[in-house]
Amino acid sequence: METILAFVIGGLFGAGIFMMLRRSIVKFIIGLGLIAHAANLLIFTVAGLTRGEPPLIPPTMTELAEDAPFGDPMPSALILTAIVISFSVLAFAMVLVHRVYQTVGSDDIDDMQSTDT
Amino acid sequence: MSMLLILPIVIPLFTASMSLVFRRSRRVQRWLAVSGSVAMVASGATLLWRVWDDGILAGQAGGWRAPFGITLVADLFSAIMVLTASVVGLLTILYAIGSLDEGRRRFGFYPLTHVLLMGVCGTFLTGDMFNLYVWFEVMLIASFVLLALGGEQPQMEGAIKYVALNLVASVIFLMAVGLLYGVAGTLNMADLSIKLRETSNPGLVTAIAMMFLVSFGIKAAIFPLFFWLPASYHTPPIVVSAIFAGLLTKVGAYSMIRVFTLVFTQDINYTHTIILILAGLTMVTGVLGAVAQYDMRRLLSFHIVSQIGYLLMGLGLFSPLALAGAIFFMVHVILAKTALFLIGGIVWRLRGSYQLRDLGGLYASKPALALLFLVPALSLAGVPPLSGFFAKLALVQAGLEDGEYVIAGVALAVGILTLFSMIKIWNEAFWKDQPEGVDLASDEERGLHEPSATPYLYGPVIAMVVLILALGLGAGPLYEMATVASEQLIDPDGYIRAVMGEE
Amino acid sequence: MPLLLVVLAGFLAAPVAPLLSRFGRQREAGWLLPLVPLAITIYLATLIGNVADGETVTASWDWVPALGVRLAFMVDGLSLTFALLIAGIGALVLLYAGAYMEGDPNTDRLYGWLLVFMGSMLGLVLADNVLTLFVFWELTSISSYLLIGFKHAEDESRDSALKALLITFAGGQAMLAGLILLAMTAGTSQISAINLGGAAIRADDLYLPILLLILAGALTKSAQVPFHFWLPAAMAAPTPVSAYLHSATMVKAGVYLLARLSPALGGTDSWFYLLSIVGALTMVVGAFLAFRQTDLKLILAYSTISVLGSLVMLLGIGTTIAVEAAVVTLVVHSFYKGGLFLVAGAIDHETGTRDIRDLSGLARTMPVVAAIAGLAALSLAGIPPFAGFLGKELLYEAVGESEELGVALTVAAMVAKALLVAVAGLVAILPFAGRPSQAARDAHDPPMRMIVAPGLLAVAGLATGLAPSLLSRPLISPASSSILGEPVSVKLALWHGFGTVLLLSAITVVAGALIYAGRRRMVAAAGTLEPLGTVGPSRIYDHALRGLNWLATTQTRLLQTGFLRHYQIAVLITLVTLVGTTLLWRANTIQLGDFDDLHVIEIGLSAMILIAALTAVLTNSRLGAVAALGIIGYSVALIYTIYGAPDLAMAQFLVETLTVILFVLVFYHLPGLAQLSPRKVVIRDAGIAVACGALVTGLVLAATSEQFSPSISTFFTSKTIEEAHSRNIVNAILTDYRALDSLGEITVLALAGAGVFALLKLRPAGTGSDEPPIASSSAVPSLILQASTRVLLPVLLLFSVFLLFRGHNDPGGGFTGGLVAAAAFALYAIAYDAESARRALRVEPHTLMGAGLLVAVASGLVGVLLGEPFLTAQWLSFDLVGFGHLELSTVLAFDIGIYLVVLGVTLVIILSLAEE
C-alpha cells in the first residue's frame, strides 16, 4: 500500500503545484490546499503503515510492554498539529486573497507587479 | 530544566496575550510591549552568561527525557542569537512607539511583534525538528499579519508573493521532517545526529538534507530562492521592514547552520560545496540588485540577500575560523541592517520620500544623522575598525587558509560593490542638495505633528550605532565568544551529551 | 602609552572643532587645533636621538588576537621619518587652513576630518601589524573621501571623491587578501617579524600572488599608472586638503608600504621589474601630463604623480643608493610640493583663479609669496644648493648603477626631470614674472598664517640642502636601514665632484629650460597625442561604472520579473534539481514495494483522491473545485481511519468541513475560475508539476523501502498509562509529551484569527466592499432552523465539553471539542445572523483567544512553581463521593486552553467573513 500511496502523494503534490503556478489567485489557494494534503499523507505513509490498531489502550490493559501492537501514534500527533497549523495559514491566505482581489481589482496575479520593479 | 530556557518563549507569549486582552488601551499596550521586551533582554543576557560560564544548557519541556520529549537547548550560538534578537526586538518596539500609526496599533502590532519574537527565540532554542517547524510557523504567520497589517495596495501585492513562497517553503520543510522521521524514527536533533551517522542509505539522507537546504534557503533568501524578498520587504511601514530585515532571514540562516553542523554532516564534501557555490552566487546577485536601486528600502532589501551569502560562506567553509566568523557576522549584520532601515525611516520622516533622487541635503542640515548613517553603512561594507570588518576578515581568512581563493575573492569584491551602493545613498540623500518640486509625503502622513516622538526614533538608532562601534573596537572578547561557539558547533559531542545525558 | 596617544590624538581632537562652533567659537579652533600635531611633532622629535642610534620604540596591545590583529606600533627610522612629516606638515596645514577657510561655515567639519585623517595616517606608518596597518589604511581612504567631497553640493566634488574612494578601496581589498596571505606564509602578522623571515617568503609558492595583491593596494594608493587618474580629480578638494593628503602624506602611503615590506618582499626579479617599470612609466607620464596643464593645482598634482613614480622605481631597484635616493626624495618632495600647493592656494585665495594663462606679474603684488614660490620651485627643479638637487643626484646615481635596464631608466629619469624643470618654471615664473595681469592687479600678500606655512616648508628645502647632515644622520640613515633591513650610514653632500651624475644634472636643467622656453610649441605638439586620452584609464573607469550599472539593472530586470510564478518556478526547479540529483545519484536505487495485502477500499480511496485532484485542476467551477477538495479531505480521513488513527481522522473531518465552509464564504466575493494562460505555458507548468510529483513519489518510495532505526514511539506506548495517566496515546503526545508543539500550534491559530480580523477590519480609507455582507441578515430565514438551533446550541456545547473531558483516554480532546463548539455557534450565525451569534457568545472571540493562550501557558507554569520543567504535567487524584476516582491535571487545563483558542479563532474567522 505504501507504493500506491506514494503515487497518490506524488499526484496530489503535482496537482497542487500545477494549481499554484496558475494566474488566478483562487486556483492558487486550491493548490495550497492540495499540497498540504500531500504533505500530511507523506508523513503518515513514511512513518510506517499498520492497519487497524488505533493507539488507544483498552481499559483492560494496565501495563504494557514496549512492543505492544499499536500503530505509531507519533505521526498522528504530528499530522494533527500540522493540520491545525495548515488550516490557520490557509484561512489567513484565503482572506488575504479576498482582500487582494478587493484592493487590486483583479484575480490575475500577473496584474500584481507594482512592488517588484 | 532551567527557567532560562523557556523564558524567551514564555515572556513574549505572556506579553502578547495580555496585550490582546488589553487591546483597547494604547498606554497599556505600549507599556506591556516595552516591559516585555526589557524582560526578554534581561533573560537573554542571563542565559548567555550562564551558558558562557557553565557550558551548554539543555532542558526537557514536559519533563520527559530526551529524545522522547521536546528538548530545549542553549549552546553559545543559540544564546548569542536569543540575546541579539531580544535587543533588536526592544529597540524596534521603542522605534514603533514613536512611528506607528494608531490603526496598526489597535489591530495588534505589539502583540504580533512579541509573538514574532517568540517564534524566533523558539527556533533558536529548540532541539527538536518538528518543534522547529512549529516555531517557524509561529514566526511566519506573525510576519504574514505584520506585513499585511494596514491593507494598503503595495502591502497586499507584496504579501501575496511573500506568503506564496514562504508557504511552499513550509510545505517542503514539513515533508522533509516527515521523511526524516520515517527514516530515523526520531525528531530530536541530538538523537538524529547519532542515528544518522550509521544509516543504510546515506544518499537518501543527503537528499533530505537538500530539501532542508531549499526550505531554509527560501526563508533565508539565498540565490535562487530570494525573489520574494525584494518584492515584499519594502511595502509595510519601515519599522516592520526593520524587524524583518534584522530577524527573519537570519532565522533561516541559523537553522541552516544548526542543521548542517549537527544533523547532516555525513557528506560534507557534497553538501558544503553546494552551499559554498550558492553563497558566492547569493553575494553577487544580491549586491548587483542593490546597485540598481533608487528606492532606499529596496536597496537595503537587496543587501539583506547579499549579506546572507556571507553567512553561507562561513557554513560552507566549515572550519572553526569560518564558523566563528559566521557567528560574529550574524550579530553584526543584524545590528547594521536594522539600524540602516530605521535610519531610512528617519530620513523619510525628515524629507518625505524614500526615493534617492528626491532626497538630499541631510549632511548639511543633520550632521548627527549623517554620522549615525555612516557607521552602519561603512560597517556593512566592511570598513575597519567597525564590526563588519572583523566579521569579513574572519571569513576571508578562513577562505584563504583553506585554499578557497575564489569565494574569498568574491567576498572582497562584493564588499567593494556594497560600499559603492552605500555611497550611493550617502551621495543622494546626504551630500547632494534636495531637488525642487518632487513628490513628497505630507507632514500629516509622516507624523511630524508629534515632535515628542523624536527620542523614540533616535534612541534605538543611537543604541545600535554604539553597539556596532563596540563590536568593532571591542572585537576581541566578542570574537573569543564566537570562537567557543563555533567549536561547539564543529564538534557536536558536547551538545549531544548535554541533551542525551552521558551515554 | 604615548605612542597610542600619538595615534589617537587626531581622533580625539576631531570633535573639538564642531563642538566649538556650536558655541560660536569656530575661529578659536583655527588657533587651538594646530597645537595637537605640533605637540605630536615635538614628542616624535625627542625620539630622533634613540632611533638614530638604532633603537626602536614599540608598544602593543591585544585587539582580536584570534584573527592576528594586534594594536602594535613601532617607531624606527622609516616610520619616524614619515610620522614627523605627517605631524609637522599637519600642523602647518591646519594653521594655514584657519586663514584659507575664513568665512566658510563648514570649516569645523574640515578640521574634524583632517584630524581624523592625520590620526589614521599616523596609525598607518606606525603600525607594526599588517592588519592594524590595513585598518588605518582604509581609514585614510574614508577620511580622504569625506575631505575631497567637502563641497558636496557640487556634482564634480562628489564624483571625484567617489572615484578616489572606489579605486583606493578596491586596491585596498586586494591588498587585504595579500596581507592575509603574507601573514599566513610568514606565520605571524607582526611586520617586524615578517621582515625577518624574508627569505622563506620569497621562496614560497604564494610569493607572486602576495606581491601582486599588495602591489594592487600600494599602486592604487600612490597613483601609479594606470591607476593615477583619481589624483588629478581629487584636486576638487580645498587646497589645504590637496596639500596635505594628496601631495605630502596619503599618496605616499603606498610608497611607505613598499618600503616597509622591502625586507620581506624585495630583491626578487619580479619585484625589480614590476616596480621599476611601473615607476618609470609613471614618472615620465606624470611629468609629461603635468607640463600640459593650465591649472596650477593640476600641474602640481601630475608632478606629484611623477615623483611618486620615481619613488616606486627607486624602491624597485632596491640598492643602497636607490633606497637613500628614495628617502631623500620623499622628504624633500614633501617640503617643496607642500609649499607649492599652499602657494597655489594663496594665489587662488587672493586672485580667484588658478589658471596660469590668466596670471602674471604677481611678483609685484604678492612679493612674499613669490619668494616662497621661487625657493620651492628651485628645489623642484633640482637646482643646487636646494635639497631637491640632492635627491636628483642620488636618483641619477641609482639608475645609473642599476644592473638591469640601467640605460632605459636613466633616460626616463632624465626626460622626466627635464620636464619637471619646465614645470617649475610654469609654476614659479609664469604667474609671477612680467606685468600684473587683470587678476593679479588687486592681489596682495595673504594673511600671516598663509605665509608661515609654505614659507617654513620652502626654507626647510633650502636649509636641508645647505646642511644635509641635518637630515642624513637623524632621518635618512635610520630610514634607509629599516628599508634595507640592515644598518647603513648615509653621507649626503652637495658636492660629489665632477662626474657623470653632475653632467646629467646639468643636461637636465638645460633641457628643461629649453622646454620651458619653447613651451607653446611643445604643448601644441603634444596636442597630437590627444586621441590617446580616449583610451585612457579615466575613460575606462567611466565605462566600467556605466557597465556596472547596466549589469545591475539588467540582472534585476531578469530576476525580479514581477511574476510570482517565475519565482515559484525558480524554487521548484532548484528543489527538483538539488534533491532529485542527489536522490538519483547518491542514494540507493528506489524500489517499488510489493503489491500484496491490498484491500479494495484502499485502492478505491486512492483512486478517488487522484480523480478528485484531477477534477480540481481541470474544473472551471468554483464549487466543483471546493467539492473536489472536500472529497480529497474526507478520503484522506478515511485512510487515516483504516490505518488506525481515529483522532487524526476526526480532526481531519472537522477541519476539512471548516475549510469547505471557509472556501464558500470567501469565494462568495471572488470571481469564477477561468483559463487564463496560453497553451505553451500550461504545458510548461504541467511539466514542472509532473517533475515535482515524481520527485515526491520517489522520495516516499525510497523512505518506505527501508526503516533504519526503531521509532521512539515505543517509549510512548509503554509509558503512557502509569506516567501519563492516559489511554489515548495520541492525545497524550499532544498535551503532555509534546505539549510545547501544541502551545505553538494554538499560538499560530490565535494569530490566524487575529490576522483575519485585522485584514478585514483595518483598511485604508475608502476600500470597503461594495457587495452586501453575507450575513447582514439571516441568509436562510427559516423559523424551523431558528427554533432547532436554539435547542441544538446548548446540546452541541455540552457535547463539545464532553469531548474535551474524555479526550485523554478516548478519542476527543480540546481540539475536537473546540471545533464542535465553534460549529454550534456557526450554525447559530447561519440561522440568525452574525450579530446574534456574537451576543449568544457573550464574550468577544478575541478575549477567548487571549484567555485560552493564558490558560495554556499558566498550566505549563504550574510545574515550574514546583521546581519542574515547563509544561510538566501535574496530577492530583482523589476520590469523590458519588463520582469515583477523579484525576485533575494541568494537562486538562492545557486542553481547556486549546479548546478556548480553537473556539475563539474559528468564530473570529467565520463571523468576520460573514460580516464582510
How would you write B157-171 as a 3-class SS string? HHHHHHHHHHHHHHH
Give C717's contacts in chain A (Cβ within 8 Å): 55, 64, 66, 68, 70, 73
Give C645's contacts in chain A (Cβ within 8 Å): 44, 54-55, 71, 75-76, 79
| Dist. CA C546–CA C548, nearest whole Å | 5
Q: Chain A: nearest CA to C701, how far in angstroms?
A: 6
Spatial CA neighbour of B318 closest among B375, B266, B371, B260: B260
HSE (side-chain half, CA atoms, 13 Å) at C599: 8
Does residue C34 have a cis bond before it (omega within 30 degrees)? no
Q: Chain B: nearest CA to A34, how far in angstroms?
A: 11
What are the residue ranges of helices labelled H in B318-366? 320-351, 362-365
Q: Which set of grid coordinates corresponds to residue B321?
A: 575560523
Nearest CB neighbour to C759, from listed A5, A27, A95: A95
CB contact under 8 A, C740 and B61: yes
Cβ–Cβ contacts within 10 Å for residue C452, how many?
Answer: 15
| Dist. CA B123–CA B120, nearest whole Å | 5
| Dist. CA C30–CA B145, nearest whole Å | 57
Q: Which residue of A has its CA nearest to B178?
A: A43
Report the run of H or E that residue C298 belongs to, with start and end.
Answer: helix C296-317
Residue A101 confidence (pLDDT): 86
State the Rg of chain C over Cα. 42
Nearest CB neighbour to C764, from listed B20, B151, B431: B151
Q: Which chains touch B (3 or more CB pairs under 8 A)?
A: A, C
Q: Which chains touch C (3 or more CB pairs under 8 A)?
A: A, B
In which band, very low, low, confident or very high, does the pLDDT at B84 lie, cut at 50, 70 and 90? very high
CB contact under 8 A, A48 and B182: yes
| Dist. CA C564–CA C568, nearest whole Å | 6
| Dist. CA C711–CA C733, nearest whole Å | 14
Nearest CB neighbour to B164, from listed A28, A39, A74: A28
Check: CB of residue C249 under 8 Å from CB of residue C121.
yes
Q: Chain B: nearest CA to A25, how far in angstroms?
A: 9
Cβ–Cβ contacts within 10 Å for residue B316, how many?
Answer: 25
Q: Which set of grid coordinates corresponds to residue B488?
A: 561547539
- The one-character DSSP state at C473 is I
Give A105's contacts in chain C (Cβ within 8 Å): none
Give C696's contacts in chain B (Cβ within 8 Å): 175
Q: Chain C: nearest CA to B194, how far in angstroms?
A: 11
Report the run of H or E that residue C885 belongs to, with start and end.
Answer: strand C884-889
pLDDT tens digits, A3-33: 888 899 999 999 999 999 988 888 888 999 9
Q: Which residues of chain C have pLDDT under 50?
A: 776-778
- The one-character DSSP state at C589 is P
Residue C552 confidence (pLDDT): 93
Check: CB of residue B239 under 8 Å from CB of residue B95.
yes
CB contact under 8 A, B160 and A39: no
| Dist. CA C231–CA B240, nearest whole Å | 44
Would you call A24 helix, strand, or coil by DSSP? strand
CB contact under 8 A, B154 and A99: no
CB contact under 8 A, C629 and A76: no
Q: Chain A: nearest CA to C764, how far in angstroms?
A: 10
| Dist. CA B154–CA B297, nearest whole Å | 13
Q: Which residue of A has its CA nearest to B236?
A: A115
| Dist. CA C316–CA C333, nearest whole Å | 19
Cα angle at C480 between C478 and C484, to 5 degrees? 120
Mutation site, A22, A115, A117, interface B, largest B CB count within 10 A = A115
DSSP E strands, C442-508: none
CB contact under 8 A, B104 and C762: yes
Q: Chain C 733-762, CB below 8 Å of chain A: which residues?
A: 733-734, 738, 741-742, 745, 748-749, 751-753, 755-756, 759-760
Q: Which residue in the block uniquely carries the three cell numbers 602657494?
A: C343
CB contact under 8 A, A72 and C671: no
- The one-character DSSP state at C304 is H
Residue C51 confidence (pLDDT): 84
State the Rg of chain A over Cα. 20
Q: Which set of grid coordinates corresponds to residue C401?
A: 648603477
Give B389's contacts in chain C (Cβ within 8 Å): 135, 138
Amino acid at C299: I
pLDDT tens digits, B179-198: 999 888 889 999 899 888 88
Give B131's contacts in chain C (Cβ within 8 Å): 738, 740-741, 744
| Dist. CA C32–CA C39, nearest whole Å | 11
Residue B503 confidence (pLDDT): 47
Residue C774 confidence (pLDDT): 55
Residue C481 confidence (pLDDT): 82
Q: Is C552 on the interface with B (CB under 8 A)?
A: yes
Q: Which set of grid coordinates corresponds to residue C182?
A: 603574507
| pTM of the complete model | 0.92
| Dist. CA C309–CA C303, nearest whole Å | 10
Would you call C74 helix, strand, or coil by DSSP? strand
Annotate B422-447 with DSSP letters as a single string: HHHHIIIIIISPPPSS-----HHHHT
Nearest CB neighbour to B178, from listed A42, A99, A104: A42
User: Bigger pLDDT: B315 or C446?
Assistant: B315
| Dist. CA B137–CA B134, nearest whole Å | 5
| Dist. CA C811–CA A46, nearest whole Å | 23
Q: Which residues pair with C61 in a beta bridge?
A: C71
Q: Is C625 on the interface with A (CB under 8 A)?
A: yes
Check: CB of residue C367 under 8 Å from CB of residue C268.
no
CB contact under 8 A, C870 and B107: no
| Dist. CA C137–CA B240, nearest whole Å | 37
Would you call A106 helix, strand, or coil by DSSP? coil
Give B178's contacts in chain A (Cβ within 8 Å): 39, 42-43, 46-47, 75, 78
Give B134's contacts in chain C (Cβ within 8 Å): 740-741, 744-745, 748
Check: CB of residue B80 under 8 Å from CB of residue B488.
no
Q: Which residue of C has its CA nearest to B198?
A: C708
Q: Is A93 on the interface with B (CB under 8 A)?
A: yes
Nearest CB neighbour to B153, from listed A35, A36, A104: A104
CB contact under 8 A, C759 and A92: yes
User: Would strands B70-74 and B57-61 be described as parallel, antiparallel, or unpaired?
Assistant: antiparallel
Residues spanned by the domain of B295:
3-500
Check: CB of residue C155 under 8 Å from CB of residue C146.
no
- The one-character DSSP state at C69 is E
CB contact under 8 A, A42 and B235: no
User: Would strands C57-64 and C884-889 be described as parallel, antiparallel, or unpaired?
Assistant: unpaired
Report the run of H or E that residue A37 belongs to, with start and end.
Answer: helix A25-46
B277 vs B131, C21, C579, CA distance in Å? 30, 53, 16
Report the run of H or E that residue C176 belongs to, with start and end.
Answer: helix C155-186
| Dist. CA C551–CA C827, nearest whole Å | 60
Check: CB of residue B424 under 8 Å from CB of residue B340.
no
- The one-character DSSP state at C773 is P
Q: Chain C 579-608, CB below 8 Å of chain A: which residues?
A: 592-595, 597-598, 602-603, 606
Check: CB of residue C747 under 8 Å from CB of residue B224.
no
Q: Is A36 on the interface with B (CB under 8 A)?
A: yes
Total domain count for chain B? Answer: 1
Q: Chain C 714-753, CB below 8 Å of chain B: which residues?
A: 715-716, 719, 736-741, 743-745, 747-748, 750-752
pLDDT tens digits, B207-242: 999 999 999 999 999 989 999 999 999 999 999 999
Q: Which residue in the block uniquely carries the three cell numbers 581629487?
A: C234
Q: Which residues pair with C355 in a beta bridge?
A: C295
Cβ–Cβ contacts within 10 Å for residue B35, how many?
Answer: 12
Q: Chain A: nearest CA to B164, how far in angstroms?
A: 9
Residue C68, Ramachandran bin (φ over 0: left; ψ between -120 and 50: alpha; else beta): left
Annotate B61-105 with DSSP letters as a single string: ETTPPTTTSEEEEE-HHHHHHHHHHHHHHHHHHHHHHHH--HHHH
